[in-house]
């Protein structure tokens, strides 16, 4: 039976690859909904980008719920300098005809999870964790009902990408991240230490394009444009394909390696958004997350290309 999942996201091209992979894996994953949050771009644009991607592959049946426009108690810091003014630079997709589903994303998360058996639904988080934090605040029983939370976020020895010690998703709303990591649900954290090993690379994008389907051509251009910032920053061939690691982990966990550890979230200004990973267990604090630090990059891109290619209907 396919695993029910909810994908919480602030769509740039990485995010869209992730939820389209899920749609291309119907035997393993049942995508109940996409929930959007202000992050890489303002909420109105992240929601629109999710709808554009669904229209591109002819998947209008997947509901998209708009959620929090900004963090719990801070101003939103977007990342247009990476993803372009609309968060989806690189290929001119038309304005979507699809509309968001009625309702507020955190409420939809609660309703979808609580309507199913205990430990049935997996939350897949690709963005600041505001929506999930709000859902946990509304329904205290939610954490115990989740099968697990798998999130792309944080950094350990790799260092941060928006500060010396913080990764963007956690940095934007550290108070929400602290609430999520303390909620008691099983958590898998995929940090920059892992995703920075999985570079798009020209040869990998050429394989993606060679599939020959219209949506694969679109994502060839979207990912090429999206990774220019990282190529210039790091001097690499391509940039990290961050968010699809979450879906790839659900499909092929053997591609990843890590360990169960304690993770604390810093909300202090100097270290805002730092994920303090007790890799060696020196604090004696309870384990609250599996942190992944290893990835089979070739196997990862194999599953990305395969499942993304299956996303389009018809």
Residues recognised as catalytic? 242
Burial label, 94 (beta-carbon count in 10 A; 0-12, 13-18, 19+): exposed
DSSP per-residue string spanning 104-163: -HHHHHHHHHHTS-TT-EEEEE-S-SHHHHHHHHH-TTHHHHEEEEEEE---STT--SSS
Do the Cβ atoms of 68 and 46 come closer than 8 Å?
no
Helices (H), the chain: 13-23, 43-56, 80-83, 105-114, 130-138, 142-145, 168-172, 174-181, 192-195, 202-210, 214-226, 228-234, 244-251, 297-309
Task: Give helix 297-309 / helix 214-226 axis angle, nearest 10°.
Answer: 140
Contacts of 115 (CB under 8 A, 6+ apart): none
Q: Which two tokens stand for residue 78?
A: 């977007």
d(CA 86, CA 287): 39
């Amino acid at each position: 039976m396919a695993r029910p999942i909810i994908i919480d996201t602030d769509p740039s091209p990485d995010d869209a690859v992730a939820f389209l992979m899920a749609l291309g894996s119907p035997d393993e994953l049942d995508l109940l909904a996409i929930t959007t949050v202000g992050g890489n771009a303002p909420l109105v644009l992240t929601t629109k980008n999710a709808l554009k991607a669904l229209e591109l592959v002819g998947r209008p049946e997947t509901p998209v719920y708009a959620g929090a426009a900004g963090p719990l108690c801070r101003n939103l810091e977007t990342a247009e300098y990476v993803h372009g003014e609309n968060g989806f630079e690189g290929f001119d997709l038309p304005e979507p005809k699809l509309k968001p589903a009625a309702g507020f994303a955190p409420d939809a998360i609660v309703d979808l999870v609580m309507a199913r058996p205990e430990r049935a639904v997996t939350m897949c988080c690709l963005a600041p964790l505001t929506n999930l934090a709000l859902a946990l605040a509304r329904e205290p029983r939610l954490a115990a009902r989740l099968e697990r939370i798998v999130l792309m976020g944080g950094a350990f020895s790799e260092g941060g990408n928006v500060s010396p010690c913080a990764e963007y998703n956690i940095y934007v709303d550290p108070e929400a991240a602290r609430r999520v990591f303390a909620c008691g649900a099983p958590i898998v954290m995929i940090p920059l230490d892992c995703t920075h090993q999985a570079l798009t690379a020209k040869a990998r994008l050429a394989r993606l394009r060679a599939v020959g389907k219209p949506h694969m051509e679109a994502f060839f251009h979207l990912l090429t444009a999206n990774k220019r910032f990282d190529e210039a920053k790091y001097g690499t061939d391509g940039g990290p394909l961050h968010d699809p690691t979450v879906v790839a982990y659900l499909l092929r966990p053997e591609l990843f390696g890590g360990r169960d550890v304690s993770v604390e979230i810093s909300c202090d200004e100097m270290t805002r958004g730092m994920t303090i990973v007790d890799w060696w267990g020196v604090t004696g604090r309870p384990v609250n997350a599996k942190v992944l630090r290893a990835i089979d990059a070739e196997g990862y891109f194999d599953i990305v290309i395969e499942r993304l290619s299956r996303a389009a209907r018809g």
